[in-house]
Amino acid sequence: MRVMLLGSPGAGKGTQAQLIVEQYQIPQISTGTMLRAAVAEGSELGQQVQKIMENGELVPDQVIIDLVKKRISQLDCENGFLLDGFPRTLSQAQSLRDANIEIDVVIEIFVSDEEIVKRMSGRRIHPGSGRSYHIDFNPPKISGKDDLSGEDLIQRKDDREETVRTRLAVYHDQTKPLIDYYQGYVPELGKKAPKFVQINGIQEVQEVGKQILTVLEQYTSDV
């Protein structure tokens, strides 16, 4: 089972990715994790990545593809994998295709921008422990205070509304076109095309997970 999750920041991909990994016993492949691992192992590729990152430059698509190819060749990917955070752009998706890395199912978790802003900008964190709250969905007993310590809660910079809207703009500009790209696979590749499904992310977490597993089970029964 080779799965790709798409969706805007805050759509709940991380939670659902963990569900898929546990259900199908496949590794979650994160480009960020792979980059850090490559640097840590000190390989030739890792040294190249380290130099790029130290210079504050973007890691080229081909380097990412090389890392993905190396990762999926490992034994734990024999029964499949879950791509997390890659591809992000059309050029990366095309590079993935050029490298003959096939995907079985592409799932988009769709949540409207306004719902994303509400979800993320309402988060509050207790810096000392990492305990998380939400002003609407999981409010503290006393507004602005941690339930256990009574200390002040903070809003992370990444959760501020202006930051969230900027991230959403980047998503719509770069990543959302991937949805059209993978939908366009179907007439071109026929049965070899990945199955594309959109899931409504504005539901209970358990319901979203249930629908995703139903899609994946349907795919395995059809193969």
- Which of the listed ranges 38-42, 43-47, 203-207 does the model predict with the highest average pLDDT? 203-207
Q: How far is the C-alpha of 105 from the C-alpha of 23, rounded, in Å?
A: 15
| 123 alpha-carbon distance from chain centroid | 19
> Which residue of the set 36, 88, 131, 145 is catalytic?
88
CA distances for 109 relative to 50, 94, 117, 133, 188, angstroms = 33, 22, 16, 23, 24
What the block records as the tokens of 108 is 């988009």
Mean pLDDT, residues 84-88: 83
Active-site residue, 88 included: yes
Residue 165 annotated to the active site: no
131 is catalytic: no
Distance of alpha carbon 175 from alpha carbon 167, whole angstroms: 11
Active-site residue, selected from the candidate residues 2, 13, 119, 195 = 13
Q: Which of 71, 118, 119, 123 is catalytic?
A: 123
**210 annotated active-site:** no
Most confident residue range from 42-56, 76-90, 140-154: 140-154
Spot the catalytic one: 97, 131, 167, 210. 167
Domains and CATH numbers, the chain: 2-26+79-215 (3.40.50.300)
pLDDT in tens, 206-222: 999 999 999 999 988 87
Query: Residue 125 — φ and ψ, nearest 5°?
Result: -125, 140
Among 120, 133, 137, CA closest to 9: 120
What string of DSSP letters covers 96-116?
A: HHHTT---SEEEEEE--HHHH
Beta strands in the chain (DSSP E): 2-6, 28-30, 81-84, 105-110, 123-125, 132-134, 195-200
Spatial separation of the C-alpha atoms in residues 89 and 87, rounded to whole Å = 6
Which residues are paired to 133 by β-bridges? 124
The per-residue pLDDT for range 157-201, each reduced to its tens digit, is: 989 999 999 989 988 988 888 888 888 765 565 666 788 999 999
Q: Is 97 a catalytic residue?
A: no
Six-digit token string for 101: 């890395």
